[in-house]
């Protein structure tokens, strides 16, 4: 099972300097990472750049996907029709705030 939160946190740590993460407030980090393809994929609409990999990521995370879609006020069936990459990005965006907060607490 793909662990979204763990992987987003690892991406944050790998893509951003530790001092920058410590010194920058969470809202600024959130705004920056929201469109960062290496964190959420929301800039281009794809994190994996692979429909197959995105399908693998979401395959055992459908409850998390439903939760994310409901949070953003979307429709589950409509999201599935948009494709796996859209769904993968939706989950990443949903967990972004939590991931940033946890990474900052770990530092």
Domain span at residue 73 reads 4-106
What is the model's pLDDT at position 10? 98
For the chain, give the secondary structure using H, E and C.
CCCHHHHHHHHHHHHCCHHHHHHCCHHHHHHHHHCCCCCCCCCCCCCCCCHHHHHHHHCCCHHHHHHHHHHCCCCHHHHHHHCHHHHHHHHHHHHHHHHHHHHHHHC
Q: How far apart are CA 101 and CA 25, in angstroms?
A: 10
What is the model's pLDDT at position 102? 98
What is the model's pLDDT at position 59? 95
**Residue 49, phi-psi category: left (phi > 0), alpha (psi -120 to 50), beta (remainder):** left
**Total domains, the chain:** 1
Predicted model pTM? 0.96
Task: Please report, in tens digits, the pLDDT of each residue of the chain (107 residues total).
Answer: 999 999 999 999 999 999 999 999 999 999 999 999 999 999 999 999 999 999 999 999 999 999 999 999 999 999 999 999 999 999 999 999 999 999 999 99
């Amino acid at each position: 099972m793909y662990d979204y939160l763990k992987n987003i946190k690892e991406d944050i740590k790998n893509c951003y300097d530790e001092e920058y993460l410590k010194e920058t407030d969470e809202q600024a980090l959130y705004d920056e990472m929201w469109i960062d393809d290496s964190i959420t994929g929301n800039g281009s609409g794809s994190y994996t750049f692979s429909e197959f990999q995105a399908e693998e990521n979401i395959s055992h995370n459908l409850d998390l996907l439903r939760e994310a879609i409901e949070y953003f006020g979307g429709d589950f069936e409509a999201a599935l029709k948009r494709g796996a990459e859209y769904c993968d990005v939706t989950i990443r965006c949903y967990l972004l705030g939590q991931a940033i907060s946890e990474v900052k607490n770990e530092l």
